[in-house]
Amino acid sequence: MAEIVAFSKEGRVGVITVNNPPVNALSQAVRAGIKAGIEKGIADADVSAMVIICEGRTFIAGADIREFGKPPMEPHLPDVCQFIEDSPKPVIAAIHGTALGGGLEIPLSCHFRIALSTAKVGLPEVKLGLLPGAGGTQRLPRVAGARSALEMITSGVPVAAARAKDMGILDEMVEGDLKAAALVFAQKVVDQKLPIRRVSQLKATVDSPTLFEDFAKANARKFRGFMAPFKCIEAVKAATELPFPEGMKKEREIFIELHDSNQSKAQRHVFFAEREVVRIPGLPDDHPTREIKSVGVLGAGTMGGGIAMCFANAGIPVKLLDMKQEFLDRGLAVIKKNYANTVAKGSLKQEVMDKRLSLIQPTLAYEDLKDADLVIEAVFEDMAVKKEVFTKLDAVCKPGAILASNTSYLNVDEIAAITRRPQDVMGMHFFSPANVMRLLENVRGAKTLPEVYATAMKVGKKIGKVPVLVGVCDGFVGNRMLAKRTRECGFMLEEGALPWQIDRVIYDFGFPMGPYQMGDMAGLDIGWRNRKAKFDSLTPREQKNNLLDKICEMGRYGQKTGSGFYKYDEKRNATPDPMIEELIINHSKEVGIARRTITDQEIIERAIYSMINEGAKILEERIAARPLDIDVVWLYGYGFPVYLGGPMFYADTVGLKKVYDAVLKYRDSVGAEYWTPSPLLEKLAKEGKGFYSK
């Protein structure tokens, strides 16, 4: 087996090569190996300069995130970095792939940095709720200036080599053989006796006296709720005000504070959850899948158009079918407008738009779908229509084609049963706008073959989605849990709350918007239609809780009609509407409920804990295999705050005993038909465990 860090000599250059697949993360062995390599180079009289370079697909991608939360092991990264910088012999970092986090802090401690033109460098720690903890906040402002450092460190977004060179991060950009170029560079340093440049001895430049306050203010909305970006600003400011050793001390203090915070734990959980979610429990990673080279999409409406774009964007040709030419024309016009907007913003080239459009072929004939490897149906949400469409698909599609429905609520097994190939049928539930939203709920039916849903997971990833495998039930994972929140909010309105109070609490909790703002934006008629379809299955209290009916009957469908729960001006700015307040107060009278003060805490408990309890039921029923599947659905589909890690992770942070006690409290006050604790929640709470610490 190759050494994790090897030391070799090429002429008078000591080459320290890191080989720790897959991404050369800085595990203890790598840190120790690099330090030992530098020691060897210093001690060897035949070595005049050293190069740090990596094997495999990338330079070091950062600290080993799997070591976080475990007892720290020597040598610590900041000490390794300092050891490199203190070397009396010049050290050169040779970068390819992505040098991220600690993987950039090592080069910043080297005396020279060269990179392939295809390389990227960045400090993404903020995305893990952290800040660079091995001198990144102190050294980057010293090479790139405080403003650029603030941008890179608070966004976590890597920059390409050319930009990094302009910023002063890189000394040279090279093509071709990186090792050969690094050896030439090292020889030049030796031959020309170039002075060793220690970044810690440079001064960080500040281009405005109010830079830090202005930066925090300008990004207030983007950073809302997150601790780390504000702490990053504090640390970069320290680099401009304090001597290097004191700045390092400050950075360390903040790093430890953030590392131990629930936010960072949540964000680290999200990092692994979004990678784990594509793995199907019980199936090997290399389980056979079917090849998807062409796709059919049925229905050129809101969802069908977006879904067609997703495949065209990935270079997969699409046949888009609708009932009439005018519906196809309308659908294609929307697709064109969407692409044109992206071109106008400068994020898409006209030729690329043209190529993508050419991949979407409109058709009125089912016959044209006969060769498709995958067909996704996005026609009206009506079982009779779905059955008619699947019968036709069954008749024309080739054997082995996967037939998927984008239904939001209908029973996928019932749809599958109308065909002669239920093993090839499943749900692929995209979220609106389908070309933008990352979540894809892949719904496995009772008879769907593993090969079929494994293919849907793979193709989902290919088109840039975060696919989550779920089972068949009303609303699947996301909408089923959302329905509980919607119901509780509706009850709270009749008990004493107002829409804007609930919206404020949910927004402050960290969601992008509250449920009533969201309803107004999506169109209240969608929920109204759904309510009417389900009316007979509702409880008497739910049937009488008819505020939505009353509002929609007035033609108030939300933003698109200028009013809904709120009223809107021409710029779609919302203001609370006294008329709605009156309507709600009268409604409470009509249903005989005495209004009372509803606290913000009660809103959080009833809106969020009702979803957690439902999430626990979803786990029990195996609709979702793991709590992380539920978390990913909520993070990517509904804007659950990343720094809380998703509803199930958040529940663990709150403590399941507390959640369970609240469920019992509302069972007694609201009613057992709404608040019966899930047996899983009850069991874990009583055992003092969490969803993740069973």
In the complex, what is the shortest distance from the CB of residue 545 to ligand NAI, in angstroms, rounded to a whole number?
Answer: 23
Give CA torsion, residues 299, 302, 304, 306, to 10 deg.
160
CA atoms within 13 A on the CB side of 628: 20
Which one of the spans 126-134, 246-254, 381-389, 600-608 is the region binding ligand 3HC (CB under 6 A)? 126-134
Strand partners, 173: 115
Out of 54, 77, 378, 497, the only residue in the binding site for ligand 3HC (CB under 6 A) is 77
State which residue has the least CB distance to ligand NAI: 301
Distance CA 494, CA 502 (A): 12
Residues 6+ apart with CB under 8 A from 76: 31
Buried b (16+ CB within 10 A) or exposed e, 302-312: ebbbbbbbbbb
In the complex, what is the shortest distance from the CB of residue 323 to ligand NAI, in angstroms, rounded to a whole number?
Answer: 5
Q: Quick one: 107 or 471, whose CB is closer to ligand 3HC?
A: 107
Q: Is 620 a catalytic residue?
A: no
Residue 378 sits in the site that holds ligand NAI (CB under 6 A): yes
In the complex, what is the shortest distance from the CB of residue 219 to ligand 3HC, in angstroms, rounded to a whole number?
Answer: 20
Distance CA 554, CA 422 (A): 43
> Residue by residue, what is the 3-state secondary structure of 210-248?
CHHHHHHHHCHHHHCCCCHHHHHHHHHHHHHHCCHHHHH
Q: Quick one: 469 or 518, whose CB is closer to ligand 3HC?
A: 469
512 upstream amide cis, omega within 30 of 0: no
Q: Is 251 a catalytic residue?
A: no
Distance CA 425, CA 448 (A): 6
Out of 41, 62, 145, 646, the only residue in the binding site for ligand 3HC (CB under 6 A) is 62
Buried b (16+ CB within 10 A) or exposed e, 524-555: bbebbebbeeeeeeeeebbeebbbbeebbeee
Sheet holding 13-18, edge to edge: 5-10, 13-18, 49-54, 91-95, 112-116, 172-174
Q: Quick one: 90 or 129, whose CB is closer to ligand 3HC?
A: 129
Site for ligand NAI in 380-409 (CB under 6 A): 380-381, 385, 389, 406-408
Among ligand NAI, ligand 3HC, none, what does residue 37 contact (CB within 5–8 Å per kind)? none
- Total binding residues for ligand NAI by CB under 6 A? 23
Residue 65 sits in the site that holds ligand 3HC (CB under 6 A): yes
Site for ligand 3HC in 16-45 (CB under 6 A): 22-23, 25
- Total binding residues for ligand 3HC by CB under 6 A? 24
CA atoms within 13 A on the CB side of 430: 30
In the complex, what is the shortest distance from the CB of residue 123 to ligand 3HC, in angstroms, rounded to a whole number?
Answer: 7
Among ligand 3HC, ligand NAI, none, what does residue 303 contact (CB within 5–8 Å per kind)? ligand NAI
DSSP, res 563: B
> Among the options 105, 441, 495, 605, which is catalytic?
105
Q: Which amino acid is at 260?
A: D
Q: Quick one: 27 or 187, whose CB is closer to ligand 3HC?
A: 27
Residue 470 sits in the site that holds ligand NAI (CB under 6 A): no
Site for ligand NAI in 254-313 (CB under 6 A): 298-304
Burial of 392 (0-12, 13-18, 19+ CB in 10 A): middle
Q: Quick one: 80 or 321, whose CB is closer to ligand NAI?
A: 321
Q: Quick one: 81 or 468, whose CB is closer to ligand NAI?
A: 468
Q: Which amino acid is at 632?
A: V
In the complex, what is the shortest distance from the CB of residue 490 to ligand NAI, in angstroms, rounded to a whole number?
Answer: 20
**Can you point out the beta strands (E) in 317-434?**
318-321, 360-363, 374-377, 402-405, 425-430
Are 438 and 640 in contact, with CB atoms under 8 Å apart? no
Give CA torsion, residues 40, 46, 47, 48, to 10 deg.
140
Residue 323 sits in the site that holds ligand NAI (CB under 6 A): yes
Out of 14, 37, 102, 645, the only residue in the binding site for ligand 3HC (CB under 6 A) is 102
Which one of the spans 48-56, 57-65, 439-447, 532-540 is the region binding ligand 3HC (CB under 6 A)? 57-65
Enumerate binding residues for ligand NAI (CB under 6 A): 298-304, 321-323, 327, 378-381, 385, 389, 406-408, 430-432
Enumerate binding residues for ligand 3HC (CB under 6 A): 22-23, 25, 58, 61-66, 77, 98, 100-102, 105, 124-125, 128, 132-134, 136, 275
Cite the active site residues: 105, 125
